[in-house]
């Protein structure tokens, strides 16, 4: 029987609570084009190929794929979203290195060229550091790029506070399992879909500093895309 996995945060951890407070304070900010709040996450995905020609769908009959497949390596998906504006961007890379992350950060900056400061919420992955900018770009460019951002990190073992992680789960469930990556962005060309975030400071109990503080409200995080349309 397969084990059911849970997110178990550390108990009595002041650092966890402090970082959680910081992230929730950022999420309370009103929408501001001069200082947008953007969430970023990344995830590796396995590439597979069919070994037999699938049988296409017909009226009343679903398409059929053979259970055998061949492995074709992995790729990495970068995703950034601005929850209050309903904007998101996706990039596929062959690897997940410091250079790849720094290049994606540069693209985010280009998308928000009129912003004075971009608040970027992300997890504590070792590549998500300012040093990656200096290892990728000349010092002057790295400094100029860093100055455009305010980096806000989720707590260690608390990446579920990052709304971009939930967006990636939606992308995986509705598109990647059906190999329709491009369909994820298509609906938003005709109208934005904002994110609804239910885990707020009013629903926390930081004084207890206990894991029940986080597991009790974990369900609310998974409800933030309430009216998210299915992809076909």
CATH code of 178's domain:
3.30.420
What pLDDT is attached to residue 99? 96
Domain range spanning residue 115?
Answer: 14-221
- Note whether residue 195 is domain-resident: yes
CA 80, CA 76: separation in Å to the nearest integer?
13
CA 144, CA 157: separation in Å to the nearest integer?
31
- Note whether residue 229 is domain-resident: no
- Note whether residue 109 is domain-resident: yes
What pLDDT is attached to residue 218? 39
- Note whether residue 2 is domain-resident: no
- Note whether residue 231 is domain-resident: no
What pLDDT is attached to residue 13? 75
What pLDDT is attached to residue 203? 47
Residue with tokens 């009129």: 114
What pLDDT is attached to residue 10? 65
Q: Which residues contact 180 (CB under 8 A, 6 or more apart)?
A: 231
With a cut of 70, list the residues of the chain below it in pLDDT: 1-2, 4-12, 172-232
Total number of domains in the chain: 1
What pLDDT is attached to residue 66? 80
């Amino acid at each position: 029987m397969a084990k059911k996995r849970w997110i178990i945060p550390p108990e009595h951890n002041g650092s966890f609570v402090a970082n959680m407070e910081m992230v929730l304070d950022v999420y309370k900010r009103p929408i501001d084009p001069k200082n947008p709040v953007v969430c970023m996450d990344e995830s590796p995905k396995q590439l597979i190929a069919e070994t037999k020609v699938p049988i296409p769908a017909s009226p009343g009959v679903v398409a059929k794929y053979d259970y055998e497949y061949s492995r074709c390596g992995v790729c990495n998906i970068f995703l950034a979203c601005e929850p209050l504006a309903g904007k998101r961007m996706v990039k596929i890379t062959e690897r997940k290195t410091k250079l790849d992350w720094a290049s994606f950060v540069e693209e985010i900056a280009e998308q928000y060229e009129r912003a004075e400061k971009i608040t970027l919420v992300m997890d504590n992955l070792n590549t998500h550091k300012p040093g990656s900018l200096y290892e990728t770009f000349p010092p002057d460019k790295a400094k100029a790029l860093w100055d455009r951002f305010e980096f806000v990190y989720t707590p260690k073992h608390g990446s579920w506070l990052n709304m971009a992680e939930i967006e990636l789960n939606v992308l995986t469930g509705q598109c990647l399992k059906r190999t329709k990556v491009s369909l994820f962005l298509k609906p938003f060309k005709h109208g934005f879909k904002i994110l609804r975030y239910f885990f707020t400071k009013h629903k926390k109990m930081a004084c207890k500093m206990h894991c029940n503080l986080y597991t009790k409200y974990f369900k609310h995080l998974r409800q933030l895309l309430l009216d998210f349309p299915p992809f076909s």
